[in-house]
């Protein structure tokens, strides 16, 4: 399983690098991104994890749109 997780991390790292480059080119400025994280979880935990992530995005979007 650790080999699979390592492969997932590497694919995410490469993809994030491409995304950062594309965003940097689009914005015509430097972009810094952190290395993505990957972990295993039980399928039964997915609804709870998705809800927590959704709540984080709602707070983030609220901060962006607050006047």
Structure confidence at residue 25 (pLDDT): 95
**Residue 66 DSSP SS3:** coil
Q: What digits encode the pLDDT tens for the residues 1-57?
A: 688 888 888 888 899 899 999 999 999 999 888 876 777 788 898 888 899 888 888
Closest C-alpha to 36, from 9, 57, 54: 9
* Backbone torsion region of residue 31, taken as left when φ is above 0, otherwise alpha when ψ lies between -120 and 50, otherwise beta: beta
């Amino acid at each position: 399983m650790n080999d699979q997780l390592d492969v997932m991390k590497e694919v995410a790292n490469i993809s994030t690098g491409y995304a950062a480059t594309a965003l940097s080119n689009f914005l015509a400025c430097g972009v810094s991104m952190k290395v993505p994280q990957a972990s295993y979880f039980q399928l039964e935990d997915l609804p709870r994890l998705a809800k927590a992530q959704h709540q984080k995005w709602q707070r983030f979007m609220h901060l962006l749109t607050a006047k």
